[in-house]
Amino acid sequence: MAIIKPFKGIRPPKELVEQVESRPYDVLDSEEARAEAGDNEKSLYHIIKPEIDFPVGTSEYDPRVYEKAAENFQKFQDKGWLVQDADDHYYIYAQTMNGKTQYGLVVGAYVDDYMKGNIKKHELTRRDKEEDRMKHVRVNNANIEPVFFAYPDNAVLNELIMRYAATEPEYDFVAPIDGFRHQFWVISDAKDMQTITEQFANMPSLYIADGHHRSAAAALVGAEKQKQNPNHNGTEEYNYFMAVCFQASQLTILDYNRVVKDLNGMSSEEFLAALQVNFEVEDKGTGIYKPQQLHEFSLYLDEHWYSLKAKEGTYDNTDPIGVLDVDISSRLILDEILNIGDLRSSQRIDFVGGLRGLKELKRRVDSGEMRAALALYPVSMQQIMDIADSGKIMPPKATWFEPKLRSGLVIHKLS
């Protein structure tokens, strides 16, 4: 069962939300955050990227930067830019991209569910990144930014959400950076909150879609606080961390593509010949060609696009990892032919995800920066859930969720 609870969210007043809200901390660098915040002292970047309050070049890991985050978080509350709700609530957060809307329930997720594996992950996390986020949670005593979960489709919850979606939202704005619409409702009805809690209690698992490091950090800090409190009884707010939970079928996963700097000493002809061992290779000409189905890849090389279809027997349909296109391409192209074994550390490869599209692949190859590009068919949410259920881990750089959650719509305090 998935244990969740409502919480007293800390939120901007309606008239300030567009000044406070921001992109997540990990999708932009310090200079981009500095530029986006500009002279807006209410921007959440002063809390989630507080190095912007220091001279250019100050490390985001400087101890003073974490202290500044806490100082600014308190300042936002003191000035009324962030105000805590008087009562516990669940919240609904909707995002609309390209005419499609997905609806998430904002909840307090249970720390012990993460520690026991009831909240399932599909990616490895790095300890240094976990520790960075743990410091941020500790110093603020709050989950400033939510994590992004998926749950199996649920008709009862869908009906409840649609009922609220037909009413006027608390927040409703279009983010200038990407043009996506964001809406937010507060659920205060006790019966509706009970329904949400009960429906989640019937779910065996929740799934991390995006935000593995934030999830780990939030849960680990909660577990720390449990051990540090001699009077711990399990009802404390630190036993929960903030998550936005979406129905799995609503989520959009975009392709996450690869560009390589060299062909491992081969000519283009030798490389194409090597590909024909495991793939049906077809020249598609000079027009951009996007993979049309699973196990088909697009290769951009020497101003031409090629279709690469993996031959029967090169993957195992019974293996949740081996059947993935990210695994097929890693094994049979990047490793076997190009000798790029470790995608996390190799300097010969880079990744292009999300909304940048195949034009960006073409640009990087045509510029001479890269030698070739490989486009993949997107992973499905069902594949991700199957892998998480199997206890296995996806290859690196396999998923790109869009749209990203905006930060600053609601914050969860740990006490």
Place 355 in a pLDDT band, splitting at 50, 70 and 90.
Answer: confident
| Class of residue 271 by CB neighbours under 10 A (exposed 0-12, middle 13-18, buried 19+) | buried
Please write the tens of the pLDDT for every residue from 274-310.
999 999 999 999 999 999 999 999 999 999 999 999 9
Please write the tens of the pLDDT for every residue from 195-239.
999 999 999 999 999 999 999 999 999 999 999 999 999 999 999
> How far apart are alpha carbons 363 and 294 in whole angstroms?
25
Per-residue confidence (pLDDT) for residue 299, from 0 to 100: 98
Residues of the chain above pLDDT 70, percent:
100
Give the pLDDT mean for 17-40. 96
Q: How close are the terminal C-alpha atoms of the chain, in Å?
A: 25
Cβ pair 223, 115 in contact under 8 A: yes
Residues 147-185: b if buried by 16+ CB within 10 A, e if exposed:
bbbbbeebeebeebbeebeeeebbbebebeeeebebbbb
DSSP secondary structure string for all residues of 136-158 = HHHHHTEE-S-EEEEE---HHHH
Cβ pair 196, 161 in contact under 8 A: no
Record the tokens describing residue 171, joined without a space. 């927040």
**Alpha carbon distances (Å) from 102 to 34, 110, 143:** 30, 23, 22
3-state secondary structure at position 378 = coil
Give the pLDDT mean for 180-208. 97
Please write the tens of the pLDDT for every residue from 365-414.
999 999 999 999 998 899 899 999 999 888 878 888 999 999 999 999 99
Q: What's the predicted TM-score (pTM) here?
A: 0.89
Closest by Cα among 388, 406, 330, 305 to 24: 406
| Class of residue 363 by CB neighbours under 10 A (exposed 0-12, middle 13-18, buried 19+) | middle
